[in-house]
Amino acid sequence: MRANFLNKEFQLKLHSEPKNISLLEPFVKRVCTTYRINEEFFNEIMLVLTEAVNNSIHHGNRCCPNKEVLVISEVVKGNLLSFTIQDEGKGFDPSKLPDPTSPENIGEPNGRGVYLMRQFAHNIVVRQQQETPGCQVVVHFRI
């Protein structure tokens, strides 16, 4: 039965304005309905994708409404739900992000997004685009 899902791909394209994050929920609901994902798992996916898209809009594209964030969802290897979040920014090195749980960073207002993403996703890969400007964050969830 899962083999039927392997060829399905969902895409959402957003202009880089913070208000457009609200368009993510109906997209994720459609994906989760297609793959029969329960509500608890839906909430985890929403948390991770909201952080990723928020980072792409704010840090990657600097809230420039002429730039876009592309979200692509597909099932890979039969049991991994994959989301690729692509922006037009310069990218970042996740190993250089400060630990938000260390005492000196507890009171900082930013820096928890990637940490939360790592807590709820099975795997996260950050890639700098070679052909075009932009950064890709690929997030996998086991289904």
For the beta carbon of residue 121, count every other beta carbon within 10 angstroms: 23
pLDDT at position 123, please? 95
Higher local confidence (pLDDT), 87 or 90: 87
Question: Is the model's pLDDT at 58 over the cut of 70?
Answer: yes
pTM, to two decimals: 0.89
For 40, counting Cβ atoms within 10 Å of its Cβ (0-12 exposed, 13-18 middle, 19+ buried), the class is exposed
Place of tokens 């368009």: 23
pLDDT of residue 42: 97
Q: Is the dihedral of CA 119, 121, 126, 129 positive or negative?
A: negative
